[in-house]
Chain A
Amino acid sequence: MNWTGSTMRMAWRNLWRNPRRTALALAAIGLSVTLVLAYTSILRAYGQWIVETITGPMLGHVQVHAPLWRKDRLMERTLRDVDATLAELRRDPDVASATARVYAPALAAREEEGFAVVVMGIASGAESGPARLVTDVVEPLREREALIGRQLAELMNVRMGDEVAVVGQGVDGSLANDLFTVKGVVTTSVDLVNRQGILIELSDAQALFAMPDEAHEIVIHARRPEMASALSRRLAGASGFADAEVLDWQTLAPEMVTLVRITDLAGLLVLLLVFIAAAAGVANTMVMATFERTREFGMLLALGTHPSRLVRLVIAESIALGVVGALTGSLIGIVLVVITHRTGIDYSWLAGGGPSELSFAGLRFSLRFYPALSAVDVARAIGAVCLTSLLAATWPALRASRLQPVQALRGT
């Protein structure tokens, strides 16, 4: 094949012999690419948003428990030597953060009335921040200070600064009771914490429940979310976790994985539909362009042009159309995504007001999210358009190459 510059020049000139049709085709291709990119960016945001909401505050990417703890959540099913384990985990290059938690059912009371709560011992410093468990309080907890979930606080009529009695049971069965000062009322993305949670510092919880250097859960965030499964498999095989249950978030929250998969599938379907439409557009343009030029092709063949050159010409026209359309569409799409990525898209506003978050599977999902694209998404869209253009041009190109010069000149 010989893709000379003259073929490309001819192709480009041919395209603009009918400027209106070419412009329309370009607009159609450009618009589909813009739409695909916009939609992809929203799906990507949606997927990331789901994964972040699941893994950020509560699950992490990998969790470690004592065997059976997840089943019955008995106090005495603890992990031992937590400090050493955490130190080792933090040295792991794939681990972004590792923190330990204590979960203890207890009674809490401001006055006489007791309420069933779950006391969580957490590393409050490490678990605070955007997309972490505690997002609205920054200062780490000191000794005998507590944060309380908003709904629980309302139920108990507790305000900041109040003293709350906590009564539970240590891992050895002993009576655990102490007073805590409420340093903050928090709203988290985890329903359990909002409704029943009293958060205290890990060391406080370990002392209160007679479990020094022990914890019920270790939460690990990986450097990159997609490493979760590999990291979990690697840690499960490590000697330090021989007696523990190490699971990635996909295993811990399978229903969420299904949710993400359904979203991806929906995205693929739309992509497919849009490209069928784009292909139809290109094919239509090229079929029209070759049919109305039957006489011209006949002339070229009669003058000795090799049929393969006609094939190249038609394909070049088609690909030029696709590339120019795809590039324009991508440019517009990227600009749109860049603009919306900065501000985020507020779904509740689009839906005409209403709640700014929704609750699903015990988690609160914020309804504002941030469209995002990767280079792969753009390359895939452009590549797909080029491929469609090529396929759409095949039939017209072959037809042009098989013309009989004499018949073609007669215009039949």
Chain B
Amino acid sequence: MRSSLGLVIAAALAGMCSGGAVSLAAGPDRPDVDALLQHLDDLYRSKSSIARIQIDVTGTRSTRSMRLRAWTRGEEEVLVLIEAPPREAGTATLRVGNNLWNYLPKIARTIRVPPAAMLGSWMGTDFTNDDLVKESSLRKDFTARLDRRSDAPPGWWLTLDVKPDVVGRWARIDLLVSDERLPIEERHYDRKGRLARTMHFDDVKVLGGRRLPARIVLVPVDGVGQRTEMRYLDAEFDVPLSDDTFSLSRLERTRQ
């Protein structure tokens, strides 16, 4: 499950804020926050997407690599399939709305992830199951505002504050967006206001016809030397995907 998470995460990041649509001027003019977030939301996902992703997890005692394929449609549907290593190939995660299922080829079982396990690691990465599911609700759960100008790298810091009455893991998320309207850095603060993890976006290149950061690195603050690096190998956007793609029966058909 590890790697597909990253994709979803990126989408989640992007999806945090809601928005109208006004053009965002490049340069130090104050950007329209709503439009900017809308843009970010769309960045890795568009109406639909198919991507191949490499994930490298550096843990305290070992390093693992996985290659995944991920399909998304809209904000609510995600399918992630592990293609390598062979030991885990065929393992898949399906998200539809707030539901998350894992398919495990070794024991030929599909298991729905219960709410109690949402904060657990997704496939041994530093991403959680929750990261896969939360993407669409982030926009509902947070209020965004433009915080300050960043000079190096040039861009804007946005601050997302959790709305009152929302139960969740993050109290605040700081987001640095370049003048090119691409994410550079994201900082997640927990309910006690402590910085819990950071995400860095770099290696901007053209994938599937759009410029986006191909590499996302997630570093948990309390894990010494621990990190998860996610790299987009290729991506396609706005390809038609059938309803069957995001179904349990598809989930159980390992290897497409």
Whether B64 pairs with A172 at a CB distance below 8 angstroms is yes
Whether A113 pairs with B112 at a CB distance below 8 angstroms is yes
- Taking the closest CB of chain B, its distance from the CB of A374, in whole angstroms, is 48
Q: Which A residues are CB-close (under 8 A) to B18?
A: none
- Taking the closest CB of chain B, its distance from the CB of A94, in whole angstroms, is 33
Whether B107 pairs with A177 at a CB distance below 8 angstroms is yes
The A-B contact count (CB < 8 A) is: 77
Interface status of A245 (Cβ within 8 A of chain B): no
Q: Which B residues are CB-close (under 8 A) to A178?
A: 106-107
Whether B102 pairs with A167 at a CB distance below 8 angstroms is yes
Whether A175 pairs with B104 at a CB distance below 8 angstroms is yes
With CB as the reference atom, state the residue of chain A lying closest to B110: A112
**Would you list which residues of chain B between 80 and 101 have a CB under 8 Å from chain A?**
87-88, 91, 101
**Would you list which residues of chain B between 54 and 100 have a CB under 8 Å from chain A?**
57, 59-62, 64, 87-88, 91
Q: Which B residues are CB-close (under 8 A) to A175?
A: 1, 87-88, 91, 104, 123-124
**Hey, what's the 0/1 contact readout for A160-182 against B, CB within 8 Å counting as 1?**
00000101011111110111000
Interface status of B143 (Cβ within 8 A of chain A): no
**Hey, what's the 0/1 contact readout for B223-249 against A, CB within 8 Å counting as 1?**
000000000000000000000000000
Q: Which B residues are CB-close (under 8 A) to A113?
A: 111-112, 114
Interface size class of B (residues with CB under 8 A): 20 to 34
Whether A114 pairs with B107 at a CB distance below 8 angstroms is no
A107-B114, A173-B57, A175-B91 known; A112 vs B62 contact (CB < 8 Å): no
- Taking the closest CB of chain A, its distance from the CB of B77, in whole angstroms, is 18
Whether A107 pairs with B117 at a CB distance below 8 angstroms is yes
Whether B104 pairs with A167 at a CB distance below 8 angstroms is yes
Interface status of A116 (Cβ within 8 A of chain B): yes
Whether B124 pairs with A177 at a CB distance below 8 angstroms is no
Interface status of B116 (Cβ within 8 A of chain A): yes
A114 CB contact (under 8 Å) in B57, B59, B117: B117
Chain A residue total in the interface (Cβ 8 A): 21
Q: Which B residues are CB-close (under 8 A) to A325?
A: none
Interface status of A264 (Cβ within 8 A of chain B): no
Whether A116 pairs with B88 at a CB distance below 8 angstroms is no
Cα distance, A332 to B32, chains bound together (Å): 90
Whether B123 pairs with A165 at a CB distance below 8 angstroms is no
Q: Which B residues are CB-close (under 8 A) to A177?
A: 104, 106-107, 109
Cα distance, A292 to B102, chains bound together (Å): 95
Interface status of B208 (Cβ within 8 A of chain A): no
Interface status of A50 (Cβ within 8 A of chain B): no
Interface status of B120 (Cβ within 8 A of chain A): yes
- Taking the closest CB of chain B, its distance from the CB of A96, in whole angstroms, is 33
A76-B60, A175-B91, A179-B107 known; A115 vs B114 contact (CB < 8 Å): yes
Interface status of A396 (Cβ within 8 A of chain B): no
Whether B59 pairs with A76 at a CB distance below 8 angstroms is yes
With CB as the reference atom, state the residue of chain B lying closest to A176: B124
Interface status of B113 (Cβ within 8 A of chain A): yes
Q: Which B residues are CB-close (under 8 A) to A170?
A: 124
A175-B1, A175-B88, A177-B107 known; A114 vs B112 contact (CB < 8 Å): yes
A175-B1, A175-B124 known; A112 vs B101 contact (CB < 8 Å): yes
A114-B112, A175-B91 known; A169 vs B124 contact (CB < 8 Å): yes
Interface status of B46 (Cβ within 8 A of chain A): no
A76-B61, A167-B102 known; A174 vs B124 contact (CB < 8 Å): yes
**Hey, what's the 0/1 contact readout for B12-25 against A, CB within 8 Å counting as 1?**
00000000000000
**Hey, what's the 0/1 contact readout for A40-80 against B, CB within 8 Å counting as 1?**
00000000000000000000000000000000000010000
- Taking the closest CB of chain A, its distance from the CB of B247, in whole angstroms, is 13
- Taking the closest CB of chain A, its distance from the CB of B62, in whole angstroms, is 4
Interface status of A105 (Cβ within 8 A of chain B): yes
Interface status of B121 (Cβ within 8 A of chain A): yes
B61 CB contact (under 8 Å) in A105, A167, A172: A172
Q: Which A residues are CB-close (under 8 A) to B123?
A: 169, 175
Cα distance, A288 to B207, chains bound together (Å): 109
- Taking the closest CB of chain B, its distance from the CB of A168, in whole angstroms, is 9
Cα distance, A177 to B114, chains bound together (Å): 17
Whether A114 pairs with B64 at a CB distance below 8 angstroms is no
Interface status of A109 (Cβ within 8 A of chain B): yes
- Taking the closest CB of chain A, its distance from the CB of B237, in whole angstroms, is 29
Cα distance, A71 to B106, chains bound together (Å): 33
Cα distance, A35 to B109, chains bound together (Å): 64
A105-B120, A112-B101 known; A174 vs B107 contact (CB < 8 Å): no
**Hey, what's the 0/1 contact readout for A100-120 against B, CB within 8 Å counting as 1?**
000001010100111110000
21 A/B residue pairs, CB under 8 Å, sorted by A? A105-B117, A107-B117, A109-B109, A109-B112, A112-B110, A113-B112, A114-B111, A114-B114, A115-B114, A115-B116, A116-B116, A167-B102, A167-B104, A172-B59, A172-B64, A173-B2, A173-B59, A174-B88, A175-B91, A175-B124, A178-B106
What 5 A-B pairs come out closest when comparing CB atoms?
A173-B124, A116-B116, A114-B111, A172-B62, A109-B111
Other than the known A114-B114, A174-B64, A175-B91, what 11 A-B pairs have Cβ atoms closer than 8 Å?
A76-B61, A107-B114, A112-B110, A167-B104, A167-B111, A169-B121, A171-B61, A172-B61, A173-B2, A174-B87, A175-B104
